Amino acid sequence: MNRQYQHISDIELLERYYSEKNQEWIGILLERYTMLLFGVCMKYLKDENEARDCVQQVFLKVLMEIPKYRVEYFKSWLYIIAKNHCLMRLRSRGSKSPKELNESLLVFSEETPRKEIEEKELTFDLLEHALDELNEEQKQCVILFYLKKRSYQQIAEITGFTLLQVKSYIQNGKRNLKIILETKLKEKRENER
């Protein structure tokens, strides 16, 4: 992510977008949440290539939809768009899936229950923290592979790891992300009891 923008809040980036109508601000937000978005798509689609394709489609949908609404909670709004997109994709191939959220629910307003907003934020936050808990090699390879769209060969050249190491770090990183996420969700539920 462009370092000069990493300390600017989502709300401020949205404000800049709405006042300047410059899509660069939305691009920064999307870059900020790409890994989290990928995690949501993987959760529903269970296929890496399909999830990556889905992330790109969600990016396009966001760019088309965001001028129509005054989005307040970008992370939560993005989560719902991604979830809906995945559910529609599953439905189109005949999978049984939960009822898709209505398009009008994509925007959080003052009346939106705080709990609903917090649950969406929690999902993204947990994924973000889970990524930070990977060891440096796994984190580096996972980010290069999923965020930067690098091949195994390119990652090996960038990092100095062997192809076998790169493949191992990506597979183990993906598995560890899942374990960390499941553990964090379980802890969160137990703490709420």
Has residue 48 got a pLDDT over 60? Answer: yes
Span 58-71, pLDDT tens digits: 999 898 888 887 88
- Both 103 and 20 in one domain: the answer is yes
- Which of 174, 133, 167 minimizes the C-alpha distance to 38? 174
* CATH number, domain containing residue 32: 1.10.1740.10
Return the pLDDT at 123.
60
- Both 62 and 146 in one domain: the answer is no
User: Would you say residue 115 lies in a domain?
Assistant: no
Return the pLDDT at 94.
65
- Both 100 and 7 in one domain: the answer is yes
Which DSSP category does 94 fall into?
T
The set of residues, in sequence order, having a beta carbon less than 8 Å from that of 100 and lying 6+ positions away, is 84, 87, 88, 91
Structural domain that includes position 52 = 1-108
Return the pLDDT at 45.
87
- Both 104 and 138 in one domain: the answer is no
Tell me the pLDDT band of 182, cut-offs 50, 70 and 90: confident
Q: Is 42 helix (H, G, I), strand (E, B) or coil?
A: helix
State the total domains in the chain. 2
Instruction: Please indicate, yes or no, whether the overall pTM of this predicted structure exceeds 0.85.
Output: no
Has residue 148 got a pLDDT over 80? Answer: no
For 110-130, give the DSSP string: TTS-HHHHHHHHHHHHHHHHH
Q: Which two tokens stand for residue 145?
A: 């592979």
Span 88-134, pLDDT tens digits: 888 877 644 344 333 333 444 444 455 655 665 666 666 667 777 88
Tell me the pLDDT band of 55, cut-offs 50, 70 and 90: very high
User: Would you say residue 3 lies in a domain?
Assistant: yes
User: Would you say residue 103 lies in a domain?
Assistant: yes
